[in-house]
Chain A
Amino acid sequence: MIDPKSAAAGNLAADRIDLKLIADMVPRDTKVLDIGCGDGALLELLVNERGVDGRGLELGQSGVNNCVARGLSVVQGNADADLSYYPDNGFDTVILSQTLQATQRPHDVLREMARIGNRLIVSIPNFGHWRVRLDLLAKGRMPVTGALKASWYETANIHLCTLKDFADLCDVLSLSVERCITLSRGHATAYAGRPTRRANLLADQGVFVLRRL
């Protein structure tokens, strides 16, 4: 269970419990790049509560403007096109929360992230969740779940994967899975290393801490 009194529990939306987990995994007073930072909720938390030197990259203009007006260092851009302009090892931690599945080339995004920082935190929705499997198997329809809310024709999520798929890709990219926390209806389970088959069935999302090998 997530401790509701944890520093990270701040003002985050109830359905973005992954953000609270991520915030607790970021060491204090480090330099962090948050890719796809949205309205800046995580970044603000990191800057204010953990003394982080935080920067954000966000595609949506209203999100960016909102962030900057609140004093956060955020630029408008997208993960596929703009990461290549960041310097090698410019950050201690690079975060990508619930964004990978919406990128054009997820493997290139991860490669760029690993170049920019040594430590990555990536959260993804799990397409291996039993509800997803059941929807396809029983209903024969593309699944719509709590973590995947949009219908297939309007979803921004073009590269969905299971927790297992993701861990496999990390192997290919020489990224070691240091920790994985899976979320199942708000309940968190921590794993040292790759998530289990059981987690791949039961978790609706996963938060991975990765390191360059």
Chain B
Amino acid sequence: MSETGVKNEQSETVLFDSAALKLDCGVTLNHVSLAYTTYGTLNGDKRNAILICHPLTCDQYPASENPQTGRDGWWTQAVGPGRPIDTDKYFVICSNVLGGCGGSTGPQTDNPDGSGPYGLNFPVITIADMVRAQNLLIDHLGIESLFCVIGGSMGGMQVLEWAAMHGPRVFSAVPIATSARHSSQNIAFHEVGRQAILADPEWHAGAYYEKDAHPRKGLAVARMAAHITYLSETALQRKFGRNLQDRESVTYGFDADFQIESYLRHQGMSFVERFDANSYLYITRAMDYFDIAAENNGNLAAAFKDTATRFCVMSFTSDWLFPTSESVNLVRALNAAGANVSFVEIESDKGHDAFLLDEPEMHATLSGFLKSAAKARGLIEGGRDHD
């Protein structure tokens, strides 16, 4: 048992040796591996599994320490014993995305042709490709249908793709702080980040692995720019204001005079210790390409036609990266598709990152939704827990 009290934590890497993954870009990827963690116990009829889809820079450790980085689980507020995603009741699965750098196949993985790490020879992947790989994992675990697929931000995109591509396998879905398509503004921010990486001489056109280099500065700048989009002006003002960093007055130079500068620099520098620059390029690209309506001739509702999945959509008032209007578009399309959908906007001034933080109203909503879904699936009787 780990410190978080999560029972039956298991981390594995599965190699799909026999299954070839046909990607959206046309390339077929062989020898795909996914690194994943599970918590809790799969029940006898394998109907209590929840798949958590992680956001851009997280990993397969939502409720436990990542042994490589030593970082705490990234969603311990929501996942664990007695938490909304209760690891004592549900079998919780989280896999590192295809293209990621947490052990799943990605640009830093060795190309099976023996030429060394893929680097830029790794094919461009999409959110749907990530879901295709996860679908192999669910097959591998012998699970016919998932009780719920849950995720925020890029994780929410995967949730929507799961519901659109594999509806019958998804009993319920919780897309949080996300969108059915990546907006122009969001693509713009990603492009700034990618250009910072590409401009770093240590990047070596993506072939930096064997040169013992890493475009740290470029990746750090990318992270700094992105990090601003995860917060809100109110939260930044409250936390840092115009406070100076360890000094009485400004220095008339370009040191980190302000606390916010120091904070961002720290965010950037610590990020490069745990993330691969090429992975960042590939995963941000996958998000940019995401547009579920486009996959259905511009009709978002058509993506969810005849869906039996129960949806719970959540957004946050101060999230300007994935604003409530994006969730409203999604909810309207789901209603048009006749879907069973709940939609809650949570009051918070913490910006996009709110979904990862202590937001009691979000947790109450998630608990209530999962409980009623569990009742509908026969996991609990009469709305009461029997465990």
Q: List A residues at the B interface (Cβ < 8 Å).
A: 48, 53, 55, 61, 64-65, 67-77, 82, 85-87, 90
Closest chain-B Cβ to A56's Cβ sits at a distance in Å of 9
Q: Give the complex CA separation of A90 and B334 in angstroms.
A: 12
Instruction: Give the residues in chain B near A71, CB-CB below 8 Å.
Output: 368-369, 371-373, 375, 383
Most chain B C-beta atoms within 10 Å of own C-beta, residue among A69, A73, A77: A69
> Which of A64, A65, A72 contacts B372, CB < 8 Å?
A72
A75 proximity list for chain B (CB < 8 A): 313, 331, 335, 341-343
Cα A74 to Cα B373 in complex, Å, equals: 14
Interface size on B, residues (CB 8 A): 30
Contact partners of B341 in chain A: CB under 8 A: 55, 73, 75
In Å, the complex CA distance between A97 and B356 comes to 37
Q: How far is the CB of A115 from chain B (nearest CB, A)?
A: 12
Q: Which of A73, A76, A77, A82 contacts B340 (CB 8 A)?
A: A73
Q: Would you list the 5 A-B pairs with minimal beta carbon distance, nearest first?
A: A71-B372, A69-B368, A75-B343, A85-B332, A69-B364
Q: Is the CB of B344 within 8 A of A68?
A: yes
Q: In this complex, which of A64, A73, A74 has the most chain B Cβ atoms within 10 angstroms of its Cβ?
A: A73
A67 to B365: give the CA distance in the assembly, Å: 9
Query: Are A69 and B365 touching (Cβ within 8 A)?
Result: yes
Q: List the B residue with the shortest CB-CB distance to A74.
A: B342
Q: Contact mask B327-340 → A, CB, 8 Å, 1/0? A: 01001110111101
Contact A68-B365, Cβ < 8 Å, known A73-B342, A75-B331, A86-B336: yes
From A74, A82, A85, residue with most partner B Cβ within 10 Å: A85
- In the bound complex, what is the Cα–Cα distance between A142 and B73 (angstroms)? 60
A86-B361 in contact given A68-B342, A73-B342, A76-B343 (Cβ < 8 Å): no
Contact of B335 among A67, A69, A85 (CB under 8 A): A85
Is B367 part of the binding interface, using a Cβ–Cβ cutoff of 8 Å?
yes
Q: Which chain A positions have C-beta within 8 A of B372? A: 70-72
Q: Would you give the shortest CB distance from A64 to chain B, in whole angstroms? A: 6
With a cutoff of 8 Å between Cβ atoms, the chain A residues found around residue B337 in the complex are 87
Q: Does B358 contact A (CB under 8 A)?
A: no
B332 and A76 form a contact (CB under 8 A): no
